[in-house]
Amino acid sequence: MTKRVAIIGGGPAGLMAAEVLAAAGELDVTVFDAMPSVGRKFLMAGKGGMNITHSESMADFIRRYGERATQIAPLLEAFGPTQLREWSRGLGIETFVGTSGRVFPVEMKAAPLLRAWLHRLRSQGVQFHVRHRWLGWADGKLRFSTPDGEVDIEADAVVLALGGGSWAKLGSDGSWVPVLIECGVPVRALKPSNCGFDVDWSPYFSERFAGDPVKAVIVTVGTQRQQGEFNITATGIEGGLIYALSAPLRDALARDGQAALTLDLAPGRSLEKLTLELSRPRGRDTLANHLRRRAGIDGVKAALLREYFPAEALHGASSLAAAIKALPLPVTATRPIDEAISTAGGVAFEGMDEHLMLHARPGIFCAGEMLDWEAPTGGYLLTACLASGRAAGLGVRHWLAS
């Protein structure tokens, strides 16, 4: 009798699991998704240019996964950036390496890749049922809420690829957490990752500079230091540089109840050179002009100095130079989890075997962002989702065969 495999979640991890299972040729593979169509978060992530992976060395790539690098490494060694680009080429989508080392489809869009992928999956016999929201189990059967009422589905094996807890409107709402906890599955609390932070701006600063980019800065959080840019919002800060350092900043807030990042507003100038330049006579120059001419500081950078540095100290060359090179910027909270690009936390690796099957529920496998790992943007999220989906699909095949 043909074995039936249910894949719950039609994001990259679920679709990759479906592809691996369909390739076996002897399984009935069905993908269920709560939304009206699959791959919605995948498409949204590709709107600004579809970054699918990164070209850096494998050792550096794996380090991006922080405390879970050891668990993610075997998945990436089996399906990493090189294999991902070959897989994309097999779908007719060529890729290129950008100046930052990030890898993009030539067309810079997610839609052509998803269309080609779904066409191949359907040609392999994969079936899709949308508007099927998973509710858990009843008498060993999978329960789904559908527009026509509840339905129960039997399956010989299941891959859960339900995403994390961000972007609920696209399907990842974390509603699976209590269901798995009730089954005895160890699940770490979901937390925002690649997220913005609240800052206690003055009303003037918030109104005047919301939306402005802060360019060419170095941000330090603990022992981590990175150069780039970020954006001011009405309530705080966001953007690529902040997302890259969101994990240590978030963890410091949770641990200490307070946290701050340190800004170097003039990365190309040493403290000594800045002090010398700012010591030069101002003449009739205002402080604003003096900062602009001697230190290249104006606009939002000058406003940040005024916001977080004592006014009386702005007139001392050495103290002003020191503030430019190391301005503390306290944050008060992470932005809500639903605003985050991704989430940390999820199903603990300790609750699964090496094939990503749950110890508490044999025959049930997990993949993608619902696993307990996190990584920065830059292609790392998608690569690990695909790699874990592939591992879960192979795990199902191994389990059914044995």
- Model pLDDT for residues 260-290, shown as the tens digit of each residue: 999 999 998 999 999 998 888 877 878 788 8
Per-residue pLDDT, 401: 92
Phi (first) and psi of residue 138, to 5 degrees: -145, 115
The Cα–Cα gap between 98 and 54 comes to 9
Which percentage of the chain shows pLDDT scores above 70?
Answer: 99
Q: Poorest-confidence range of 43-47, 160-164, 232-236, 356-360?
A: 43-47
Average pLDDT score over residue span 100-107 = 93
Residue 46 pLDDT more than 70? no
Rounded to a whole number of angstroms, the distance between the first and last alpha carbons of the chain is: 15
| pTM score, whole prediction | 0.92
How is residue 336 annotated by DSSP? P
Question: Coil, helix or strand for 73?
Answer: helix
Burial annotation 322-351 (CB, 10 A radius, 16+ → b, else e): bbbbebebebeebbebeebbbbbbbbebeb
Phi (first) and psi of residue 94, to 5 degrees: -75, 155
Average pLDDT score over residue span 192-206 = 96
Average pLDDT score over residue span 59-71 = 95
Confidence of residue 351 (pLDDT cuts 50, 70, 90): very high
The domain spans of the chain are 3-193+343-401, 197-334
The Cα–Cα gap between 100 and 391 comes to 29
Per-residue pLDDT, 336: 95
Confidence of residue 214 (pLDDT cuts 50, 70, 90): very high
CB atoms within 10 A of CB 276: 14
Q: Who wins on pLDDT, 354 or 312?
A: 354
Question: CB neighbours of 365 closer than 8 A, spacing ≥ 6?
Answer: 17, 157, 158, 159, 160, 352, 355, 356, 357, 358, 392, 395, 396, 399
The Cα–Cα gap between 82 and 85 comes to 5
Q: Can you list the pairs that 80-83 forms with residues at least 24 positions away whose Cβ atoms lie under 8 Å?
A: 80/53, 80/383, 80/387, 81/53, 81/54, 81/55, 81/379, 81/383
Confidence of residue 396 (pLDDT cuts 50, 70, 90): very high
Confidence of residue 312 (pLDDT cuts 50, 70, 90): confident
The Cα–Cα gap between 106 and 95 comes to 5
The Cα–Cα gap between 387 and 311 comes to 53
Instruction: For domain 3-193+343-401, say whether CATH 3.40.640.10 is its number.
Output: no
Q: Among 79, 75, 80, which residue's Cα sits nearest to residue 57?
A: 80
Per-residue pLDDT, 45: 77
Per-residue pLDDT of 114-169, as tens digits, reads: 999 999 999 999 999 999 999 999 999 999 999 999 999 999 999 999 999 988 88
